[in-house]
Amino acid sequence: MNIKQYRTQYKTLAQQGYFSYLSAILTMAIMPVHVQYLPPVMILWLLSWIFENHYRLKELYCETKTVYKLLFALVILYYLWQVSGLLYSADLKMGLLNLYGRLSLVLFPLVLIYPGENIRRKTKILLRVFAAGSFSYMLICFCFALFRSLNYQNGIWTFNPHPPEFWWLSYFYAAELTVNQHPSYIAIFVLISSLICFETWFDNSIKTILRYIWLFAGILLIVSIYFISSRAGIISCLIIIPVYLIRKLKERKKLRLAWIGIIILMIALLPLIIRNQRVNSLFKTFSDDNEMKETEKIIEPRLIIWKAALNIAKQNLFIGVGIGDVRTELVKEYQKVGEDIMIKERYNAHNQFIEVLLENGLIGLVVFIMIFIIMIYIAIVDRNLLYGCFIFMIAFSLMFETMLYRLAGVSFFSLFSFQLLYYKPHRQED
């Protein structure tokens, strides 16, 4: 093969988005395992995208659906409005750190609004790589928990899942299981991965044995959500999985079977779920038991945080306090009520919608909500069930966590908000 042929082949690969596709595979494989290794791959994807598309941006712009371009424009507008928050932030350093940590909010939409032919055609493969990564990560977590629970002394193996110094914790539960990664983020990774596994099970174009393997992986991922013990993850799972299965089995004219199976499953799992410590504490928080003394009532920390955040929002309603000053203002409110732990840890709002209201006021919140409105519209028009489940899952999680404050949350949100646009369950792939 001469130099001219090499150049021709190289140009063909670039036109098809081959290098961006390799970067996308790396991204999907790394994100569920350890998101902290993601930034170099994100930069590689951006450079590949620029190299492949710099000369044909106008052509790509014309090929993209108008509603996709509107979604992209809203995300960019939201980020730019956050940048404007630097102008009235007293803590400029914190504001710059927050903007830097949320760069993926711009990067992933940019490389996926015109993703290249390979990514468009092979979205199923990319999603399955992510699901396989999540399954592998959870398998490693359970194996490591088992390893830490076993102890060999005097020729006898003993099993103790509780750390000696913290006997009330368990290696198979919550942050101890996820190797000190935040359970809330791992839960949404696992939940979307389980849906991808079920989508593969319903894909009749692959071999039956492979379909059963994916079904088995999906069931194990669903079970692991209980052990991850994220309340938002558990509740999302209880809502999304029945709705998803009913919709899928309805397409196959097995709706009655779906209802019977789901009712039996819910009856069997409900006692186990209620016994979960974090879910049980949520019930106690909202209990109206009049016999409980005032000093014995359990106060959900988020309620204290939200009340403090809304007090700040009332005083800075339209443009917020700025992207760098939210923590500082919240600490002032914590000091007023004497919450020493919250002061020390400098807790954020633990609700993304409230956090946006604090940072950027009503203007930023309206833009942020419009992003979700457009996403819902796309899911309905494209009849994209997986995208709809993702939207509900992420919106519900945002009500309990400031997910766009951490790399795991902001990268997951920005990546799947655009990657799932190209998911077509009935399309054949290479």
300 token code pair? 């959900």
Whether pLDDT at 106 is above 50: yes
Whether pLDDT at 48 is above 80: yes
DSSP for 141-156, written as a single string? HHHHHHHHHEEEETTE
Whether pLDDT at 286 is above 70: no
pLDDT at 301: 80
CA angle 417, 420, 425 (to 5 degrees): 160
pLDDT digits (tens, 9 = 90+) for 107-121: 999 999 988 888 988
- The pLDDT-based confidence of 75 (bands split at 50, 70, 90) is very high
- The pLDDT-based confidence of 278 (bands split at 50, 70, 90) is low
Confirm if 429 and 227 have CB atoms less than 8 A apart.
no
Q: How many residues does the structure list for the chain?
A: 430
CA separation, residue 428 to residues 221, 242, 385 (Å): 26, 27, 18
Please report the beta strands in 148-299, taking only residues with DSSP state E, as ranges in sequence order.
Answer: 150-153, 156-159
- The pLDDT-based confidence of 74 (bands split at 50, 70, 90) is very high
End-to-end CA distance of the chain: 26
DSSP for 356-398, written as a single string? HHHHHHHHHHHHHHHHHHHHHHHHHHTT-HHHHHHHHHHHHHH
Confirm if 114 and 57 have CB atoms less than 8 A apart.
yes
State which of 75-79, 175-179, 336-340 shows the largest mean pLDDT: 75-79
285 token code pair? 């928080």
Q: What is the mean pLDDT of residues 392-411?
A: 90
Q: What is the mean pLDDT of residues 381-391?
A: 94
CA separation, residue 358 to residues 188, 309, 326, 366 (Å): 25, 7, 6, 13
pLDDT at 166: 80
pLDDT top residue among 422 and 253: 422
pLDDT at 297: 44
The pLDDT mean for the chain works out to: 84
pLDDT top residue among 18 and 69: 69
pLDDT at 212: 93
Q: What is the mean pLDDT of residues 35-51?
A: 91
318 token code pair? 């339209």
What is the rounded CA–CA span in Å between residue 327 and residue 320?
13
pLDDT digits (tens, 9 = 90+) for 210-261: 999 999 999 999 989 989 988 888 889 888 988 898 888 777 766 666 666 6
Confirm if 181 and 231 have CB atoms less than 8 A apart.
no
What is the rounded CA–CA span in Å between residue 98 and residue 106?
13
pLDDT at 57: 73
pLDDT at 294: 46
pLDDT top residue among 68 and 303: 68
